[in-house]
């Protein structure tokens, strides 16, 4: 399907995403003029934002984004090389999560920069492109960079190394982080061409099996767990069904999905309890998860709920305040826009 032939409900959101593209090919997390700090490029957000362009067949956008992600790693390759043979012990020694889309420099302010899932996400998708015959590797230097990333993530012992996780908060061992890296290593083992330590895969699998269906020691369920179903497909249907059941029972709301219980981010209640924000992309994610589980009726139900989060001017926010029609400033959120496009394709079988 050519971009010019897209259905209206897809084209609008692709255009919203195009407005977040920078000259280097990286996506901003949200609009350039927001005051929330979302006018930066996150590794993870770029992986998720590029998904929409993969579905609509705009490979030029996808390739440019990944070429620049590889350029980021190459720019910081000395630091990454050091961490392939030395165990990082300070936050700044790990691969950072956010970069300037213009200079590709790290942001050095205090942040939950230790995010193994973000590295796993990039590695997984690059391997996925190899498997699909759509390689984004330009030359031998890119291949060396990917190999270095694989050595890095194994050397930090991702299977039991506490990180800040998808939500960039307290350091814990997160199932979603283990799963992202495990999926990446398995995919590279499958496509070949890289040195992947089978022991690192086995340790990751054992650690994930021991932790699931929990996200972490402190979180019984968490929106981040849906990544183990999509895009990674690194859990069985039985475990996936349990993840979805727990998540819907505890976290699903009308305008979105809470990230986890007692989430203080944009919590309406000043004590940080009971009025957790409702994240819009959680509904699209659940629609995809239900489709994967074979429940078409629930998949369509959650796709309708996701559609209901679209603002009157055609944008999908990061979140709505609890039990309200008030969205936060990060509107549109690139991640939300792209997940909605992905859900339309996955659920409708386009």
Tell me, what CATH number does 77's domain have? 1.50.10.10
**Mean pLDDT across 206-210:** 98
Determine the pLDDT at residue 271: 83
pLDDT at 217: 98
Domain range holding 110?
3-348
Mean pLDDT of the chain: 95
Where are any strands of DSSP class E within the chain? 41-42, 98-99, 278-279, 319-320
Task: Examine the pLDDT at 1 and tell me if it is beyond 60.
Answer: no
Mean pLDDT of 83-89: 95
**The tokens of 125 are what?**
């998708």
* Pairing assessment for the beta strands 319-320 and 98-99 based on DSSP bridges: unpaired
DSSP H helices, 138-266, are 140-155, 175-191, 198-211, 237-251
How many domains does the chain divide into?
A: 1
30 three-state secondary structure:
coil
* Predicted confidence (pLDDT) at residue 2 exceeds the cutoff of 50: no
**pLDDT at residue number 317:** 98
d(CA 313, CA 316): 9
Residue 127 has pLDDT above 50, yes or no: yes
Q: Which residues contact 215 (CB under 8 A, 6 or more apart)?
A: 174, 175, 176, 221, 222, 224, 225, 260
Q: Please tell me which residue, 261 or 36, carries the higher pLDDT value.
A: 261
How much is the pLDDT for 3?
A: 44
- Band (pLDDT 50/70/90 cuts) for residue 5 is low
Q: What is the pLDDT of residues 224-243, one digit of tens each?
A: 999 999 999 999 999 999 99
pLDDT at 51: 98
- Span 37-67, pLDDT tens digits: 888 999 999 999 999 999 999 999 999 999 9
Question: In the 8-state DSSP scheme, what is residue 313?
Answer: T
């Amino acid at each position: 399907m050519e971009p010019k032939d897209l259905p209206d409900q897809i084209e609008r959101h692709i255009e919203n995403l195009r407005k977040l593209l920078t000259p280097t090919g990286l996506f901003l997390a949200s609009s350039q003029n927001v005051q929330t700090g979302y006018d930066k490029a996150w590794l993870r957000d770029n992986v998720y934002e590029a998904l929409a362009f993969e579905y609509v067949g705009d490979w030029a956008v996808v390739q440019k984004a990944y070429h620049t992600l590889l350029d980021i790693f190459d720019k910081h390759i000395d630091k990454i090389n050091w961490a392939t043979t030395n165990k990082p012990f300070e936050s700044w020694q790990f691969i950072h999560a956010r970069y300037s889309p213009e200079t590709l420099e790290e942001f050095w302010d205090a942040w939950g920069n230790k995010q193994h899932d973000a590295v796993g996400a990039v590695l997984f998708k690059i391997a996925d492109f190899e498997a699909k015959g759509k390689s984004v590797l330009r030359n031998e230097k890119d291949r060396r960079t990917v190999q270095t990333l694989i050595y890095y993530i194994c050397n930090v012992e991702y299977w039991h190394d506490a990180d800040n996780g998808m939500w960039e908060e307290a350091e814990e061992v997160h199932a979603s982080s283990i799963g992202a890296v495990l999926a990446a290593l398995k995919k590279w083992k499958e496509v070949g061409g890289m040195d992947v330590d089978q022991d690192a895969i086995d340790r990751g699998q054992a650690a994930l099996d021991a932790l699931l269906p929990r996200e972490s020691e402190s979180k019984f369920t968490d929106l981040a767990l849906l990544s183990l179903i999509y895009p990674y497909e690194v859990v069985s249907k039985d475990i996936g069904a349990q993840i979805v059941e727990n998540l819907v029972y505890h976290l699903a709301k009308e305008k979105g999905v809470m990230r986890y219980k007692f989430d203080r981010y944009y919590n309406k209640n000043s004590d940080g309890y009971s009025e957790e924000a409702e994240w819009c992309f959680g509904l699209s994610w659940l629609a995809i998860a239900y489709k994967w589980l074979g429940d078409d009726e629930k998949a369509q139900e959650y796709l309708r709920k996701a559609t209901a989060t679209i603002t009157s001017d055609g944008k999908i926010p990061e979140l709505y305040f609890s039990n309200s029609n008030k969205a936060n400033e990060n509107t549109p959120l690139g991640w939300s826009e792209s997940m909605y496009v992905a859900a339309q394709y996955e659920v409708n079988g386009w």
